[in-house]
């Protein structure tokens, strides 16, 4: 099923719509947002210079720091009385980024999330166990409203309290799980420990997972342990929240809802726009946002775009799963390393889980790398010989596949720190 005809627009018709909406957005931000007024003047451009969607490359980039510098409402394009909701990031690395929504923005958010659920085969007959965090984080409420839009029953469980979540998911006969993939695996581990028969005690048919870069191996593990179809969602609060794109039943790639969000791929160092198929940093321009329109937002996420028609019938461009972030990429002794690459290697090794943490440090003048990996419940920590064999296997596979030399430390299940359901994958101590 397809929720909206807009998802199947011919390319030329879609580009015409994008051009019209871009012009409206540019005129609005130029007229009322001082940040963009200044940026446009610095670049010597005015709204009339934008004739088509292809002219978007003439426009300035927006970065997360720009939102922080204009905290809290300096980037808003509407008066406060038009804002019906505010969300915010945690602000753990400085001032938080603040995002606002008008009633129109909320309608768009519900619309794109309804597309997500329909794309994932979910309707009014389903019960959605929503384990994304509620509150200022956009995940929980964004997913919640979308599920209600398609008529599904929602269990607003939020994060944490894993044992209670499992009880509710079983007793309420939930058919859909929405959470981060790492939390889904944590729930499965806890279910097994508490004596549940996952395939018999739960009625899940699928899950919608996102909010963190994830390897193919981890996705397959989530799908396997729960016995469900895995759908991947992508979004970020600065753009709207969850609902920028989602995978369909025909492809692991994610359809970007291009009538609302215009995507580009750029070289993260030069800002040069890259052609379809090439890997680089994802840049997104909002085409319909009213409260917080964003021009050419540098997401920091590494992916590529594919215009090849999808068998599902949707015409919107697809993005590959995010393989990592520009700022999460580690350069260790000259070698570029993304957590998802390490994760993919680990996914092919027995007796360990995909809960891991990469720790970069300095040893004299050289970088050193340590990777902590949780073993499975069945692997006894006092089996020295078996553990040493696993360590050597991991080291060998990392060296052969990624050309990195790392110290491997195997640790007990559930001993690596999580935060708000997300696994903390990288700790870089070199600059501390």
Position 334 scores a pLDDT of 67
Please report which residue ranges of 202-258 form alpha helices under DSSP H: 216-226
What is the signed CA dihedral for 300, 132, 6, 247, rounded to 10 degrees?
Answer: 70
Query: In a 10 Å sphere around its CB, with 0-12 CB exposed, 13-18 middle and 19+ buried, how is residue 114 labelled?
Result: buried
Low-confidence ranges of the chain (pLDDT < 70): 90-94, 334, 365, 419-422, 431-432
What residue ranges of the chain are covered by domains with CATH 3.30.300.30?
330-428
Position 93 scores a pLDDT of 42
Predicted TM-score of the model (pTM): 0.84
DSSP codes, 115-157: HHHHHTT--TT-EEEE-S--SSSHHHHHHHHHHHHTT-EEE--
Q: In whole angstroms, what is the distance from residue 191 CA to residue 201 CA?
A: 10
Q: Which has the closest alpha carbon to 413: 379, 383, 377?
A: 377
Residue 243 near residue 211 (C-beta atoms within 8 A): no
Please report which residue ranges of 205-251 form alpha helices under DSSP H: 216-226
Query: In a 10 Å sphere around its CB, with 0-12 CB exposed, 13-18 middle and 19+ buried, how is residue 122 labelled?
Result: buried
Q: In whole angstroms, what is the distance from residue 241 CA to residue 286 CA?
A: 12
Tell me yes or no: is domain 1-325 CATH 3.40.50.12780: yes
Position 91 scores a pLDDT of 46
Q: In whole angstroms, what is the distance from residue 165 CA to residue 378 CA?
A: 24
Position 431 scores a pLDDT of 63
Q: In whole angstroms, what is the distance from residue 242 CA to residue 7 CA?
A: 17
Q: In whole angstroms, what is the distance from residue 299 CA to residue 73 CA?
A: 20
Residue 269 pairs with which residues in a beta bridge? none
CATH number given to 330-428: 3.30.300.30
Q: In whole angstroms, what is the distance from residue 357 CA to residue 117 CA?
A: 32
What is the signed CA dihedral for 371, 397, 186, 211, rounded to 10 degrees?
Answer: 80
Q: In whole angstroms, what separates CA 288 from the centre of its chain?
A: 21
Q: In whole angstroms, what is the distance from residue 157 CA to residue 202 CA?
A: 16
Q: In whole angstroms, what is the distance from residue 431 CA to residue 335 CA?
A: 18
Q: Which has the closest alpha carbon to 149: 172, 177, 122?
A: 122
Radius of gyration of the chain (CA): 22
Position 338 scores a pLDDT of 79
What residue ranges of the chain are covered by domains with CATH 3.40.50.12780?
1-325
3-state secondary structure of 38: helix
């Amino acid at each position: 099923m397809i929720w909206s005809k807009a998802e199947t627009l011919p390319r030329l018709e879609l580009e015409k719509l994008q051009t019209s909406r871009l012009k409206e957005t540019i005129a609005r931000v130029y007229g009322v947002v001082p940040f963009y007024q200044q940026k446009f003047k610095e670049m010597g451009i005015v709204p009339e210079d934008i004739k088509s969607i292809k002219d978007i490359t003439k426009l300035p980039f927006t970065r997360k720091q720009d939102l922080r510098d204009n905290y809290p409402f300096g980037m808003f394009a509407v008066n406060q009385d038009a804002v019906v909701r505010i969300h915010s990031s945690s602000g753990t690395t400085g001032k938080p980024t603040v995002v606002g929504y008008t009633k129109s923005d909320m309608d768009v958010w519900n619309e794109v999330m309804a597309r997500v659920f329909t794309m994932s085969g979910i309707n009014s007959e389903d019960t959605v166990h929503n384990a994304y965090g509620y509150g200022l984080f956009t995940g929980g409420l964004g997913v919640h409203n979308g599920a209600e839009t398609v008529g599904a029953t929602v269990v607003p469980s939020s994060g944490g309290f894993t044992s209670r979540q499992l009880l509710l998911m079983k007793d309420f006969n939930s058919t859909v799980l929405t959470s981060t993939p790492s939390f889904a695996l944590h729930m499965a581990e806890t279910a097994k420990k508490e004596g549940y028969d996952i395939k018999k005690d739960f009625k899940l048919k699928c899950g919608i997972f996102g909010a963190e870069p994830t390897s193919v191996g981890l996705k397959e593990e989530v799908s396997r342990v729960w016995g469900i179809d895995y759908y991947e969602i992508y979004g970020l609060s600065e753009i709207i929240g969850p609902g920028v794109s989602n995978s369909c039943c025909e492809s692991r790639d994610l359809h970007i809802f291009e009538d609302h969000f215009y995507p580009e791929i750029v070289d993260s160092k030069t800002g040069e726009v890259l052609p379809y198929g090439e890997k680089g940093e994802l840049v997104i321009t909002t085409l319909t946002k009213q409260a917080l329109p964003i021009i050419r937002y540098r997401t920091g996420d590494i992916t590529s775009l594919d215009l090849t028609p999808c068998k599902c019938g949707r015409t919107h461009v697809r993005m590959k799963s995010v393989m990592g972030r520009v700022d999460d990429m580690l350069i260790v002794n000259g070698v570029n390393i993304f957590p998802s690459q390490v994760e993919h290697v680990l996914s092919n090794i027995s007796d360990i889980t995909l809960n891991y943490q990469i720790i970069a440090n300095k040893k004299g003048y050289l970088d050193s790398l340590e990777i902590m990996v949780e073993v499975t419940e069945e692997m006894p920590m006092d089996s020295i010989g078996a553990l040493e064999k696993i360590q050597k296997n991991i080291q060998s596979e990392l060296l052969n596949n990624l050309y990195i030399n790392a110290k491997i430390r195997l640790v007990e299940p559930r001993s690596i720190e999580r935060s708000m359901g997300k696994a903390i994958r990288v700790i870089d101590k070199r600059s501390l």
